[in-house]
Amino acid sequence: MTSNKRDKSASRQYQEISGNENESDQTRPTTAAANDAKSKWLAAHNDFVAGINTVGTCMELVDLFAEGSVNLVVADFGNILLMPKLQAKLKVFKSFSLLKENNLSDLPCALVACYTDNLQPRIPALAVASGSAVFLFKSLRPYYKFVLPQIEIAQVEKDVWHKAREGNIDIQAMHDVLNDIHRAGTVPLTPRSLTFLQMAKSNEAYQFVEHYKNVELKRQSCVTCMKKLNKNSADEDGLNCLVIGTEDQHIYIVEAEAFTILATMTCPATPSFLEVSGVYDVEFRILVTCRNGYVYLFRRGNQTPRNAIYLNSIAVGLERFGKNIIVGCMDSSLHCYTTKGKRYWKHILPAPITAMCQIDYRPKGFQAVAVALANNEIHLYKDKFLVDVIQVEENIYAMKFGKLGREDATLVMVTKNGGLIIKILKRTATFEENDTLHGPPKEQQVKIDVPKRTKLYVDQTLREKEQAEMMYRIFQQDLIRLKLLTGKEFLKSVQAGLNPVAKTKTEAIRINAEVHGLGPRFKLTVKLQNT
């Protein structure tokens, strides 16, 4: 009864915070599945016209002001259909309402809340990976911009633009040389040269060269993924490092305090998802899923991966639970591997995966992975068991589980059309490890009713402990005697001619009979040979 009162009070608290949003035209009524008493989740907030366009890697739940109340931070893409007019923004929500927003110079790909100093109170900074840079915000204000190191440019391309600057080469010859380099594929070109090759008209290409020939030629990579790594302490509020994956197949570990590159690692392909564990100064591991369909493992001191796991399809999500790796693939499959590459289980899902997130509810010791599907369902897997299915109104494109406001177990979801859905896990919710869709039936999980131990059983156990040596000797004697008797009987059958091969008196015909099978039906094979 006490837990039910807490759930009702929590739901009432969220309704009071959100005001009269449920009465407005911007909020749809919740479905019958959400209101069902059997549901393990409370519908705290539904706003289907919130206008949020993001992915799971661009969402964070963090206490930005050290007030004990967690905020929702979203790196919003904006309306991509209105490109080239960029509308990307960094949005901070407090109690379902927009608190502040900052403009971003490029489309974001990752958002991380990290600690860059040891000042008190512990207020985190926001690191937003956008284009070829990582922007750091402190107190919701721009603080620092870290730019990826430049990539070396081919000498031939440098010479072409140097001649264009001096006027020693015409547009057609310049186009032919750069096109030959691009077709060879041995050396990648800069974005400026690639843009020049796409221009068909000579007048447009001439104006482009005249505009950019005096500008320094640069080639920079783009950030594809980003995570944080504890630097010298395993505490949640300890100093962090940023682990950045780039388009040019590199992984950089950057110190968040001075923004110096501590380590550089090389991937066989472009990284798409990262999972980090450990402490940089002691021991750490970095899991990377790449666009070539492999999962690679990096350790401290290694510039190249130690282990590689081949996937049958491209990964769309990566989560880690201790020594287990959960990978979702484009072929609607969910895999569980060890860090050494051994696969524990595989599930074929009823629809393609649209989003994944880790659920770690420490008060109950509950760990699971939430998988959003294209059929408007969210499946919760604890180990290999499907423990819950959440029905939603629209496809989910981004999810995050954690503390929001003052509630510890909150699932924040962003829909395909920009809606915001928030659900709270009931305190009375229990998850049974019974998989109704995969694995053995329920009857196999029922324990056998073993009778209680009797006095005879206890006396027999004590006798076996006291006379174990003598019982073993008797067993060995009986075994040797059985082997001896078996050998003597086999020798007698051979000497008496009782084997399955029989000969006639004249030895002109040989008969061999064999019986196949032990049941009511058997097969008798008789071979007759003329000798």
| Rounded distance between C-alpha atoms, residue 202 and residue 211, angstroms | 14
What's the pLDDT score for residue 385? 87
Give the number of other Cβ atoms within 10 Å of residue 66's Cβ. Answer: 12
pLDDT in the model for residue 196: 85
- Phi, psi (deg, nearest 5) at residue 328: -100, 140
- Three-class DSSP category at 198: coil
Kindly list the domain boundaries of the chain, sorted by start residue.
Answer: 51-150+220-371+404-409, 155-213, 451-492, 500-530
Q: What is the pLDDT of residue 98?
A: 86
Question: For strand 250-255 and strand 261-266, is the pairing parallel, antiparallel, or unpaired?
Answer: antiparallel
End-to-end CA distance of the chain: 92
3-state secondary structure of 5: helix
Q: What is the pLDDT of residue 38?
A: 73
Nearest alpha carbon to residue 410 among 421, 394, 395: 421
- The pLDDT assigned to 17 comes to 41
One DSSP character per residue, 106-170 reads: S-EEEEEEE-----SS---EEEEEETTEEEEEETTEEEEEEEPPPPPPPHHHHHHHHHHHHT-S-
Q: pLDDT tens for the chain, 531 residues: list them.
A: 444 544 544 444 444 444 443 433 344 444 444 445 678 898 888 888 888 999 999 999 999 888 888 999 999 988 766 555 578 889 999 878 888 888 888 889 999 999 988 888 888 999 999 888 999 998 888 899 999 988 888 888 888 888 888 887 788 888 888 888 888 877 788 888 888 888 766 778 888 888 888 888 888 889 999 999 999 888 888 889 999 999 988 999 999 888 899 999 999 999 999 999 999 988 999 999 999 999 999 988 888 888 888 988 999 999 998 888 999 999 999 999 988 888 888 999 999 999 999 999 888 888 899 999 999 999 999 888 888 899 999 999 999 999 998 888 899 999 998 899 999 998 888 887 665 445 566 666 677 788 888 989 899 999 999 999 999 999 999 999 999 999 998 888 777 766 555 555 556 788 888 888 877 888 889 988 888
DSSP-assigned states of every residue in 41-55: EEEEEEETT------
Q: What is the CA angle 20-25-29, rounded to 5?
A: 80
Which pair of tokens denotes residue 499?
A: 């084997």
pLDDT at 273: 94
What is the model's pLDDT at position 380? Answer: 92
Q: Are 319 and 369 in contact (CB under 8 A)?
A: yes
pLDDT value, residue 253: 93
| CATH 2.130.10.10 for domain 51-150+220-371+404-409 | yes
Convert the pLDDT of each residue in 427-461 to its tens digit.
888 887 665 445 566 666 677 788 888 989 899 99
HEC string for 447-492 = CCCCCCCCHHHHHHHHHHHHCHHHHHHHHHHHHHHHHHHHHHHHHH
Reported as half-sphere exposure (CB side, CA atoms, 13 A), residue 337 has a value of 22
